[in-house]
Amino acid sequence: APVVKSKLSVKAPEFYPSGYNQNFNQ
Amino acid sequence: QEPLTASMLAAAPPQEQKQMIGERLYPLIHATHPSLAGKITGMLLEIDNTELLLLLESPDSLHCKIEEAVAVLQAHQATETSHKSSTTAF
């Protein structure tokens, strides 16, 4: 499998897809 | 959704590219980590788009990267907790 090297940051803003409420909060 | 290709991504404006990737990443992360999906997706979207396309093509690599993000979040929360308890002790 490809090795992906990158540093993850907890400061990253949260991401929610468009139409989030309809699809994931039933 | 059809698989996201590099040419599809290249055809979109830069600000939409992260949105397109996020739309595909979020459900995959939500399936295993529903309560953290927004945060983990945001953390992963800071990775370079080329690497993100690799992750979308390789479930194993994506799983490893998600677990890495969870570990980073847990380590951060542990630091926060120990920091709070040490400051309240003074």
In tens, the pLDDT along B4-19 reads 899 999 999 988 999 9
B39 contacts in chain A (CB < 8 Å): 10, 12, 14
Residue of B nearest to A25 (CA): B34
What's the ipTM? 0.81
Residue among A8, A5, A15 at smallest CA distance from B27: A15
> Per-residue pLDDT averaged across B42-54, rounded?
95
- Pull the structure tokens for residue B47: 């990775």
In the predicted structure, residue A26 carries a pLDDT above the cut 60: no
Give residue B81's pLDDT. 85
Report the amino acid identity of residue B24: R
Q: How far apart are CA A15 and CA B66, in angstroms?
A: 14
